[in-house]
């Protein structure tokens, strides 16, 4: 087990930076409870729509001031001009990563990059966030993709096609199932990031996830970032759960 002294983390900090914890809470006060429990562990914090729409830019700045890397998971999908402006505002917040839907197309994805670059041109103290594309939501079955959305074929083929479009648009990676990380690396190169939810330690509850991998398997498959929610956030001792997962990631 990695050891902790006075809230500081003496384990593998680079590996901790690959563990993303979703702050899926209705308000900042509840998110701060988990932050306190995980204090000192230099993990990535993922802020999704629920928390961002409630607590807004101020809470993102609070996370940054506390030293966390922040993934703003707001999955933009709009006309290029609107996404360009959204990306510019998000980049000014100083986040480390944000995302857009690949199904918005290459012009929209390129506009996200342009918006981020415009913010940096205006304030060179900012750094370019990693811009990640959502491929096919893991909640979408092949039947829904084929019959409702109208995309034929297998989900994995659609994911790879979207990943290639994201790479061609200059984006830095995709959100995907860990089961797709290796195929995405083959299609888009090993530096193209994969951000993978659907992580469950051996024996843990699957909750509503279906195609899962353990933390060790996901690292071995080449996932760059592991999004681990309920196995940590719903644990009786979230800190101990996070440290056990980090240990497994380090050993992989």
* DSSP per-residue letters across 91-146: HHTT-SEEEEEGGG-HHHHHHHHHHHHHHHHH-TTS-PPEEEEE-S-TT--HHHII
Interface residue with ligand C5P, options 129, 215, 229, 238 (CB under 6 A) = 229
Interface residue with ligand C5P, options 12, 230, 235, 250 (CB under 6 A) = 230
Alpha-carbon radius of gyration of the chain: 18
What DSSP element (H or E) covers 31?
helix 28-37
| 11 contributes a contact to ligand C5P by CB under 6 A | no
Q: How open is the CA angle 148-150-154, to the nearest 5 degrees?
A: 100
Interface residue with ligand C5P, options 80, 115, 197, 215 (CB under 6 A) = 197
Candidates 56-64, 78-86, 111-119, 224-232 — which segment interacts with ligand C5P by CB under 6 A? 224-232
Other beta carbons within 10 Å of 44: 22
CA 168 to chain centre: 20
Interface residue with ligand C5P, options 69, 91, 99, 138 (CB under 6 A) = 138
35, burial (CB in 10 Å: exposed 0-12, middle 13-18, buried 19+): middle
| 180 contributes a contact to ligand C5P by CB under 6 A | no
d(CA 216, CA 246): 9
Find the shortest distance in angstroms from Cβ 3 to ligand C5P.
25
What DSSP element (H or E) covers 230?
helix 230-233
Q: 186 is written with which tokens? A: 């083959």
Candidates 99-107, 146-154, 181-189, 221-229 — which segment interacts with ligand C5P by CB under 6 A? 221-229
| 137 contributes a contact to ligand C5P by CB under 6 A | yes
Interface residue with ligand C5P, options 27, 147, 148, 207 (CB under 6 A) = 207
Nearer to ligand C5P, 73 or 88 (CB): 73
Interface residue with ligand C5P, options 34, 95, 165, 175 (CB under 6 A) = 175
d(CA 52, CA 56): 5
Other beta carbons within 10 Å of 210: 11
Among 39, 64, 75, 164, the active-site one is 75
Site for ligand C5P in 19-38 (CB under 6 A): 22, 24
Candidates 31-39, 77-85, 159-167, 226-234 — which segment interacts with ligand C5P by CB under 6 A? 226-234
Annotated active-site residue 75? The verdict is yes
- In sequence order, which residues have a C-beta less than 8 Å from that of residue 79 and are 6 or more positions away? 108
> One symbol per residue from 46 to 75: x for binding ligand C5P (CB under 6 A), - otherwise; what is it?
--x---------------------------
Active site residues: 75
Binding site for ligand C5P (CB under 6 A): 22, 24, 48, 137-138, 175, 197, 207, 209, 227-230
């Amino acid at each position: 087990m990695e050891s902790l002294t006075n809230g500081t983390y003496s384990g593998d900090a680079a590996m901790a930076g690959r563990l993303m914890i979703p702050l899926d809470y209705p308000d900042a006060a509840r998110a701060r409870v988990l932050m306190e429990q995980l204090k000192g562990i230099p993990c990535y914090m993922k802020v999704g729509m629920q928390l961002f729409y409630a607590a807004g830019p101020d809470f993102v700045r609070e996370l940054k001031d506390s030293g966390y890397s922040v993934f703003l998971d707001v999955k933009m999908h709009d006309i290029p001009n609107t996404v360009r402006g959204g990306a510019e505002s998000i980049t000014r917040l100083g986040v480390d990563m944000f995302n857009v839907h690949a199904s918005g197309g290459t012009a929209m994805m390129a506009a996200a990059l342009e918006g981020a670059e415009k913010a940096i041109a205006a304030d060179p103290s900012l750094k370019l966030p990693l811009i990640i594309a959502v491929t096919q939501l893991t909640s979408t079955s092949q039947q829904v993709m084929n019959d409702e959305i109208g995309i034929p074929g297998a989900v994995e083929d659609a994911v790879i096609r979207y990943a290639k479009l994201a790479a061609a648009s200059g984006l830095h990676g995709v959100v995907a199932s860990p089961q797709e990380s290796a195929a995405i690396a083959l299609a888009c190169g090993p530096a193209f990031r994969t951000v993978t939810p659907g992580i469950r330690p051996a024996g843990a509850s699957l909750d509503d996830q279906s195609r899962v991998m353990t933390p060790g398997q996901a690292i071995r498959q080449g996932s760059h970032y592991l999004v681990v929610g309920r196995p940590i956030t719903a644990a009786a001792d979230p800190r101990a759960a996070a440290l056990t997962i980090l240990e497994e990631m380090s050993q992989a």
